[in-house]
Structure 1
Amino acid sequence: MRATSFKMKGTALFLCSALLAAGCGGQQGGNQGGDPAAPAPVKKKDPYEMSIYAPGVSAKEFDDRWRKTLEAKFPHITFKYTTSGKGNSIAELVSRGEIPDLYRLDIPTIRTNYLDMGLAYDLRDLIKQYKYDMNRFNKVFTQEIIDVIGSGEVYGLPVPPYFPQVLYYNKDLFDKFGVPYPKDGMTLDEVYELAKKMSRSDGGTIYRGLSANTMAFMRDNPMSLPILDPKVDGLSGMDKWKGLFETLKRFYDIPNNQIAKTVADENNAFSKGNVAMQINQHNIYLIIPPEVNWDIVSAPLINGAPKMMGQRGPAYWAITNQSKHKEDAFEVMMEMLSDEIQMQDSKNGIPTTLVKKEIIDALGKDHPVYGKKNMKALTTLPPIPATPKRDPGLVDIALGTQQNTMSGQFQKVATNQMDINSALREADELLKKAIAAEKEKQGKK
């Protein structure tokens, strides 16, 4: 309310000054009636429809977070909102000539679903025109999209949420076995000792000490270790990946802590109620059943890694090159990323992309579930920079392909189907095959 009041007062002061200036100008110009000249009328904007496309974001979420504010701020615009679904991939929209004005980009698909489709529009001229302050955002997020191409283009502005890693724990299980709860700032070695205590068979039930979203753990690792080498074709840092596999594999060697049969089952294991801890993302789309009495602490630190939080970066609001309403689209984008909207997002448990402390500290305050959790776990450590991107000119492959390769190979290791060295060599081969296929598709040698 204070921010809104300040804005209104500032607007009123500006209008008064403008009226006074207009009056003086009229007298100096010899207004025939002796009355101050009326201010120039504001030109009414012609109504039109703006198309917004955000894959994976429901119409309800768009309405709840943005629609009411946008319709009040831009009365001349009718907002047509489309999300992904059958018949609504970006390729299908383009083929039908339904190219959106605003497009919510995702880094893993930015090449295939934006750049390669000829939709890309560099925002730098609009940022300059509107004197838009890019320092509002955490540089980790703005830098990631710039690094995708590596020559300075800004193809989008970071929209919440991003997905920081945390350690979930089941309070009832720790109470049941009389073991103290995890704490913020623990190392992975300390979590390992806890996992050994909590992995047990009791009353015919197996209680696991720790599970993990292995895909997120590998992709968003706290060392920013890329999967695909930025400079050559193949797996990046074989020895470092070996250490990361060993670090996580030891948890699944603990008696009574066998990994689930599939990557998806392991990701969902904590929701079953018989897992004491899980390394996973804070994710507003992750629903833990109410019968699981959970809380969170900061993601465990790994020896040799920076004291930073692994994280999956945000999506980005972008403008398509084909849009006929680029200035309006940029103004709409600015409104959706405003302090006021991001403050409400934060209160609802959606981690902000801004650096403003008041907004960061408000995380989860108004949410019926997050308001009772240790949300400081998400701000104890700063988010780690994104993994290095491929050098310009090198053929890239979708991050989805990379992450599925690594989580699949780790699953083979954790289920003792393959030793670590063999799994990583195979991962290297799979990545090289994927690159070769992409080169053939692009007609490159």
Structure 2
Amino acid sequence: MNKKFCLMGVALIFVNLLAGCQQSEKQQPITLTINYPSEKMFYERVGLAFEARYPHIKIKVIEKRQVEENDDSSLDIIFMRNLQEYEKISSLGYLSELTPYFTSSEQKEMNINEITTTMIRSKSDEKLFGLAPAFQSHVIYFNKSLFDTYKIPYPFDGMTWKELFNLAQLFPETDSQGERIYGYSTNYYEHIAFASFLRAGQTEGLAFIDPNTLELTINTNEWKAIGEYIIEAFRSGKILAAEEGSSDTFQHSPIITGRSAMELSGQTTAYNFDNVVQQYGMKPIQWGMVTVPVSSVDSSSSDYYQINEIYGLSLGSLHKDEAWKFIKFIVSDIEYYKKNQNTIMNYGIPANVELLAPITGQDLKPLFSLKPKKYYVNPYEKVHYDIVNGFKEYGQTLFEQVIHGDLTLDQAFEALESEGQLKVNQIKEQLENS
């Protein structure tokens, strides 16, 4: 019996020694490298919190905006600013597929909304090479009091752009005190009517320019039908069309001040209603929100979501397990999020939407209830900014002439395609020569 107990004791000692060795091995100091525009911003964003959680892991920040082709930097974690960068980096083969790490059990534990993973997969042949901790979203905010006062039915989830502009035109131009009000205000600050027209077409899946040839195709029945109701709405005077001037005076959003019945805006506006009441003593607004307008042929999805940061495992990393700990931390760590909620909200809606800060009396589901469109037309992703904006500027001048009765709709669209093409070609040539 004594011999048996002795052998058991020796075995227990061996097991404890083995476990101690394994624990010691796991806690060996590790340094992970990551590219990020600013070391200071990185540590404020997440670095300090992560190193506090994992004291044996240090992170070295290589200050660079993005990873370029043939970059020989030794990275463990690759930071990408948007889906366009992710698409490029993943196509170059610099990233490790996350399947071994992002298992079914991990997905369940991390509770990540499929909005981010769907958008990321759509840029890499449905494979997953990165995760995003947050996403940006837009909704239509509406002033319940204005709708009630004029007995106009509330907006609803899944409206089309045409339904929204028709609804906006039901409002008067002034309230009972003679103050100017609007049925709808956009999130554009210039070329407002024409920008709204192009955005409505984008929602319907229409493209006005070929990103490869820069050839315009806009003088079509589909585009004209959209132009007709957009011009009618802006001609009514019920849509806020004033462009932002050069004044340095801060002005609150029209939906916040009660001047607009509806407004397209991002998720931060939802938290500004109470903030302006507390900070500026403004009159509280009784408000609600519905989803952004959707396509007339697909009411379940939206192309308004945006991702501004993605993190992936470098294919050449020698510390993938530790790098995965970091990605998992920034994407889904509940304790980290709750301690830094105010700061983190600046980056968007958490990938785990259950961590979105609630607002008393408000249903925030319209911010994330629509599915993300996997494939959509966004001219800014493939065409130079100057070309798109130059075309917008020219289009705005034509729309203003139609609104004021100086051009017919048909004349405007003929000019858009013919003269607009000359404008595009001119800007292209300037860019090539600069």
Shorter chain as normaliser: what TM range? 0.5 to 0.7
1-structure distance, mates of 2:164, 2:423: 33
2:29 aligned residue: 46
Aligned-partner SS, 1:158: coil
Matched, 1:314 2:307: yes
Q: Matches of 1:305 and 1:388 in 2, distance apart? A: 15
Q: 1:193 to 1:233 in 2, by over 3 A?
A: closer
Closer/same/farther in 2, CA of residues 187 and 157 from structure 1, 3 Å limit:
same
For the 8 Å contact 1:222–1:305, the answer to whether it is kept is: no
Whether 1:377 and 2:348 are equivalent positions in the alignment is no
Q: 2:215 maps to what in 1?
A: 234
1:184 has 2:138 as partner: no
2:243 equivalent to 1:261: yes
Cα deviation for residue 197 of structure 1 reads 2.3
Q: Alpha-carbon deviation of 1:206?
A: 2.2
Structure 1 partner of 2:349: 351
Higher RCO structure, 1 or 2 (CA under 8 Å, sep 6+): 2
Separation in 2 of the partners of 1:375 and 1:153? 30
What are the equivalent positions in structure 2 for 1:81-230 lying under 5 Å apart?
89-90=65-66, 101-108=77-84, 121-124=94-97, 127-130=98-101, 132-133=103-104, 141-148=116-123, 154-163=128-137, 165-177=138-150, 179-202=152-175, 203-214=177-188, 218=198, 221-225=202-206, 228-229=209-210
Separation (CA, whole Å) in 2 of partners of 1:437 and 1:186: 41
| Aligned counterpart, 1:18 | none
Q: Which residue of 1 aligns with 2:14?
A: 37
Question: For residue 5 of structure 1, what is the aligned residue in structure 2?
Answer: none
For structure 1, the 5+ residue unaligned runs are: 1-26, 391-395
Using the TM superposition, give the Cα deviation of residue 377 of structure 1 relative to its aligned residue in structure 2, in angstroms: 2.4
Distance in 2, matches of 1:313 and 1:135, equals 21
Alignment CA distance shift 1:101-1:317 (3 Å): closer
1:62 and 2:60 are equivalent in the alignment: no
Deviation at 1:332, TM superposition (A): 0.9
8 A Cα contact 1:31 1:37, kept in partner: no
Q: Is the 8 A contact 1:211 1:267 kept in 2?
A: no
Query: 3-state SS of the aligned residue for 2:203?
Result: coil
Amino acid at match of 2:264: I
State whether residues 262 and 411 of structure 1, in contact with CA within 8 Å, keep that contact through their aligned partners in structure 2. Answer: no
User: Which of the numbers 221, 231, 234 marks the counterpart of 1:249?
Assistant: 231
Deviation at 1:277, TM superposition (A): 1.0
2:57 is matched with 77
In structure 1, distance between residues paired with 2:392 and 2:271 = 19
Distance 1:389 1:323 in 2: 34
Higher deviation after alignment, 262-271 or 152-161? 262-271
CA contact (8 A) 1:409 1:424 kept: no
Whole-Å separation in 1 of the counterparts to 2:289 and 2:369: 12
Instruction: Give the direction of change, closer, same or farther, for the CA distance of 1:77–1:171 in structure 2 (3 Å limit).
Output: same
Checking the alignment, whether the CA contact within 8 Å between 1:196 and 1:254 is kept in structure 2 is yes
Shift of 1:158: 3.0
Q: Measured at CA, do residues 325 and 312 of structure 1 come closer, stay the same or move farther in structure 2, by a change above 3 Å?
A: same
Q: Does 1:328 align with 2:322?
A: yes
Q: CA deviation at 1:207?
A: 1.3
The CA distance in 2 between the partners of 1:33 and 1:212, in whole Å, is: 75
Deviation at 1:303, TM superposition (A): 3.2
Separation in 2 of the partners of 1:384 and 1:103? 24
Alpha-carbon offset, residue 405 of structure 1: 5.5
Amino acid at match of 2:327: M
Letter in 2 for 1:335: F
Is the contact between residue 136 and residue 307 of structure 2 (CA under 8 Å) also seen in structure 1?
yes
Write the distance in 1 (CA, Å) between the matches of 2:259 and 2:244.
17
- The residue matched to 1:103 in structure 2 has which SS? strand
SS at match of 1:311: coil
Distance 1:376 1:197, change over 3 A: same
Q: Deviations over 1:3-34 (max 9, x none)?
A: xxxxxxxxxxxxxxxxxxxxxxxx9xx78946
* Maintained 8 Å contact 1:270/1:276: yes
Identity of aligned residues (%): 18
TM (norm. structure 2) is: 0.65
Amino acid of the residue matched to residue 37 of structure 1? Answer: F
| Partner AA of 1:162 in structure 2 | Q
**SS of residue paired to 1:48:** strand
- Over 3 Å counting, the alpha-carbon distance change for 1:336 and 1:386 in structure 2 is farther
Given that residues 186 and 301 in structure 1 are in contact (C-alpha distance below 8 angstroms), is that contact kept between their aligned partners in structure 2?
yes
When the two structures are superposed, what TM-score results if normalisation uses the length of structure 1? 0.64
1:278 corresponds in structure 2 to 263
Residue equivalent to 1:303: 296
RMSD across aligned C-alpha pairs, in angstroms? Answer: 5.2
Is there any run of 5+ residues in structure 2 with no aligned partner, and where?
189-194
